Homo-oligomer: A and B are copies of this chain.
Amino acid sequence: MAADTRDRIVFSAMTLFATKGFASTSIADILAAANVNSGSLYHFFPGKQDVLVAVLEAYRDGIHPQLLDPAWKGVRDPIERVFALLRHYRRHLRTTECTYGCPIGSIALELHEPDPAVRQLLSANFKGWIDAIEQCLLDAGDRLPADLDRRALATLALSTMEGGVMLSRTDRTLTGFDDAVRMFRDYVSRLEESVTPPRRARRARVARA
């Protein structure tokens, strides 16, 4: 089956790149994991680089179904969604004993001179993430200051996650991630409080509005 084989290659490569990195994953690794022969892979892809392109396209196209929908399941409040997404990464770190973090970030820092297609796709992946969080912050409406740069705050959210993942992966402890996220949450709380000085049950009331 043609489509199936291609998908198996992309999926196997996605997993391997996330686990071992791009350079450290050999074509032979991908072939073994996908149970495919060399000829088939090179039938679908001109080379290894193009497999990476397909993987990054899969991440980009899968951001809603694969990442956001699961992370936001049962979470409606837009600001809570921001932290639900961060919690999703935390869960990922925890279940892998702090070895896997964000695959896009890892590839972004691993490749120092990516070809244009790869770089653009990495960029598109980050953009999709920031767009989604920016939308949450826009949906938060007047719970946040009117003059707040919501895209910049979404960018800080991504930085918090990526930096936290970097630290936690290095230390094999959740401390770095948790510290960064806790401070980010404190910042967002202060932004909320700057609009509406804290009163009991305020959040619930606004959320219902």
Which residues of A are in contact with B by a Cβ distance under 8 Å? Answer: 19-21, 23-24, 99, 101, 105-106, 108-113, 119, 122-123, 126, 149, 151-153, 155-156, 158-164, 166-167, 169-172, 176, 179-180, 182-184, 186-187, 190-191, 194
Contact = CB atoms under 8 A, between A and B. Distances in A.
A113 B183 CA distance: 29
A156 B179 contact: yes
Nearest to A159: B163
Number of copies: 2
B122 A170 contact: yes
Given A160-B156, A161-B163, A163-B160, A149 B112 contact: no
A163 B101 CA distance: 13
Contacts of A110: 21, 23, 106, 109-110
A32 to B, nearest CB: 18
A112 B20 contact: yes
A160 B183 CA distance: 11
A149 B185 CA distance: 13
Nearest to A101: B109
Contacts of A176: 126, 155, 159
Contact of A24 (B112, B179, B182, B184): B112
10 contacts: A23-B23, A24-B112, A108-B166, A109-B169, A119-B172, A152-B182, A153-B183, A156-B163, A160-B163, A161-B163
Contacts of A20: 112-113
Given A109-B109, A166-B109, A149 B179 contact: yes
Nearest to A182: B152
A109 B123 CA distance: 17
A113 B156 CA distance: 28
